[in-house]
Amino acid sequence: MKGEALRVACLLLVCAASSATAQESRFTYAGDVSATVGSADPGFFNYTDYEHSALRMLRIDLSGAWHTNEHVSFLGEVRTENFDEIEPYAAYVRIRPWKDRDFDIQAGRVPPTFGGFARRTYATDNPLIGYPLAYQYLTSIRPDSLPATAAELVRKKGLGWEDVFSIGSQVRDRGVPLVSAFRWDTGVQVHAATHDKMFAATASITTGTVSNPLFKDDNSGRQLAGRFETRPVVGLVIGVSGARGPFVTSDAARAAVGDGHESDLTQTAWGVDVEYSRDHYLVRLESIASDWTLPLVRQPFLQLPLRAVSTSVEGRYKIAPGFYVAARIDHLGFSDVDPGTGATPWDAPVSRLEMGGGVSIQRNLLLKLVYQYNTRDGGPLDHTAHQSAAQLVFWF
Amino acid sequence: MKSLLLLVALGSLAVAPRAARNGTIRGRVELRHQPAPIERRPGVADLGGNAPLDVQNLLRSVVYLESAPRSAFDTESEGHAVMDQRNETFVPHVLAITTGTTVDFPNSDKFYHNVFSLSKTKRFDLGRYAAGNSKAVKFDRAGIVRVFCDIHSHMNAYILVFSHPFFAITDDEGRYHIDNVPPGTYNVVAWHEGASADPKPVTVPEGGTAELDFAIK
């Protein structure tokens, strides 16, 4: 974090510390542990980078909140996946200027403003084991390594788990999903809701973009994101989201087109999500469109923006106390580019059907079993995959 | 503890003559620990904060006869009790009822709740229902039922189901009285949030009062 965001965070910390009183101060904590075993995934459909598959993962989250008084709280979460390293997933201060109004300012590494699933990535909140494609599937593009031509981009179809292009970084690394479910962005967020919660709005200014949240900015621009949510009747939640920010790193932009263009090389995303629940069932729909503007370097040029559109529908039904079944159908498509041989999607379209269920062994111990069918229209790897996985979830 | 509540073998007891005048057991339960307040999970992923929860009375204990007069089992209750859901809290936090009682779970909040229990005594899941609606569960087995909300994980409550009517919930100062107890000698138990004091014997005199205090660590 740098510049004004750092100064704002420091100011808030000082204010909070000075206003804390021992009588009102309290600390709460929680933990989530999920252990997932699944079949092999040679097609890299569920990978979040070269080494991590969402179907083969041990994830431990510890979160805590220090409520210094009725106006100021500090919240944080650390996470480790497969014991690799402990990451500070969230670390922010929440200011509530008026205790009786739903108006909060959050600063630091804050929850995602964009989308519906982004704040539900905990295993206890996800009725299945896999993630929606928009939040997990790695497209081939990267912020720090850029294709020089449409032909170069098309050659990387289906290789988002580890790829590299000719401009910018030459280190092999993962591409980006439409919206990252695995990192949170850093900045300032404002949230307000009506007293009856029928309407809520959130806006944020952060260092990264929805596909590439950052702790330390890698270009000169900020992302603006907003979300509006309405609950017209109990059980129905309708949300729309938008975000726009510079996507390409300063180094890569300079290598591609020289100085002064990085603010034009953006990611713009739009999303709509709907959730309805009643009795023993719950249905969710979410659709996300993301446009990336990358530099035009050489012919055959990219057809900009590079668009990806994802739609997922998810349902859960409780069939008995402690037992549920769930399913999600998901598609991720890409706009066309012309590498000189005719129009073709810039990455390989993917579809996924996941179904399964869960049984609560006890209230805070859940066993999930799922079957997943993936298809991908292009790329050098497997075009289909039948996968299964089991996940044990414990929370406290 | 559950075994303590798996109350009452039918053949256990001092059978009191019906003509005898019943008595009372009264006393006080002292909690030697401070119950942890009910708190929401940190809510790190929430876009904003939440209104504070109501402060719940977590000091109330339940005192009951471990065994009961045979006549206590002659009839099953068809009564009703209420456990409200209000400001993300079950009210009351502890409910004591007899077998056969139906408990209503009204939702007094403006948003969904989903009451459920995975207890062996009674498994149920009432699904999501909105403000102004109520669903009911009939409890036909004795034991402890832990009640939760599937949407608000901090919401929890206890329902203690007895197969006899000789129990009482303590007041704010820990005092209790169990009335109309047939004369005889009984073992009495005090319970609080899953912990209980060792059973204590007490003799209820005809038409009189027996004093019995407890301390729960």
Region of B184 (left: φ > 0; alpha: ψ -120 to 50; beta: rest) is left
Beta pairing, strands B156-162 & B167-169: unpaired
* d(CA A248, nearest CA chain B) in Å: 27
Long-range Cβ pairs for the range A56-60 (8 Å, 24+): A56/A389, A57/A81, A57/A82, A58/A33, A58/A34, A58/A82, A58/A83, A59/A32, A59/A33, A59/A34, A59/A123, A60/A31, A60/A32, A60/A33
- Max mean pLDDT among A117-126, B114-123, B195-204 falls in B114-123
Residue B85 belongs to some domain of the structure: yes
Which 3 state secondary structure label does DSSP give B19?
A: coil
Number of H helices, E strands in chain A: 4, 20
Residue B45 belongs to some domain of the structure: no
**Side-chain half-sphere of A6: how many Cα atoms within 13 Å?**
6
- The 10s digit of each residue's pLDDT in A155-204 is 999 999 999 999 999 999 999 999 998 899 999 999 999 988 899 999 99
Residue B80 belongs to some domain of the structure: yes
CATH number at residue B63: 2.60.40.420
Residue B91 belongs to some domain of the structure: yes
Nearest to residue B73, comparing CAs of B5, B15, B123, B139?
A: B15
Host domain of residue B36: 2-40+53-216
Which 3 state secondary structure label does DSSP give A295?
A: coil
pLDDT reported for residue B3: 45
**Least confident span in A62-66, A214-218, A367-371, B149-153:** A214-218
Q: Which CATH class, in words, describes the domain spanning A3-395?
A: mainly beta
For chain B, give the mean pLDDT.
Answer: 87
Per-residue pLDDT at B1 exceeds 70: no
Cβ separation of B48 and A320 shorter than 8 Å?
Answer: no
pLDDT class of B131 with cuts at 50, 70, 90 = confident
Per-residue burial over B37-69, b if 16 or more Cβ lie within 10 Å, else e, is ebbbbbbbbbbbbeeebeebeebbbbbbbbbbb
Overall residue count recorded for chain A in this entry = 396
Q: Which residue bears the tokens 């876009």?
A: B47
Q: Where are the alpha helices (DSSP H) in chain B?
A: 2-5
Residue B140 belongs to some domain of the structure: yes
Q: Is the minimum CB–CB distance between A24 and chain B shorter than 8 Å?
A: no
Cβ separation of B125 and A197 shorter than 8 Å?
Answer: no
Q: How many domains does chain B have?
A: 1
Cβ separation of A28 and B39 shorter than 8 Å?
Answer: yes
pTM of the complete model = 0.89
Write out the residues of chain B at the interface with chain A, using a CB-CB cutoff of 8 A. Answer: 39-49, 51-52, 110-112, 116-118, 123-125, 127-131, 146, 148, 153
Q: CA-to-CA distance for B96 and B80, rounded, in angstroms?
A: 11
Per-residue pLDDT at A24 exceeds 80: no
Measured in whole angstroms, the distance separating CA A348 from the mean position of its chain's CA atoms is 20
Residue B121 belongs to some domain of the structure: yes
What residue segments make up the domains of chain A, in order of their start? 3-395
pLDDT reported for residue B19: 55
Q: CA-to-CA distance for A278 and B128, rounded, in angstroms?
A: 5
For chain A, give the mean pLDDT.
Answer: 92
**What's the complex ipTM?**
0.85
- The 10s digit of each residue's pLDDT in A223-260 is 999 999 999 999 999 999 999 999 999 999 999 999 88
Contacts of A121 in chain B (CB under 8 A): 45
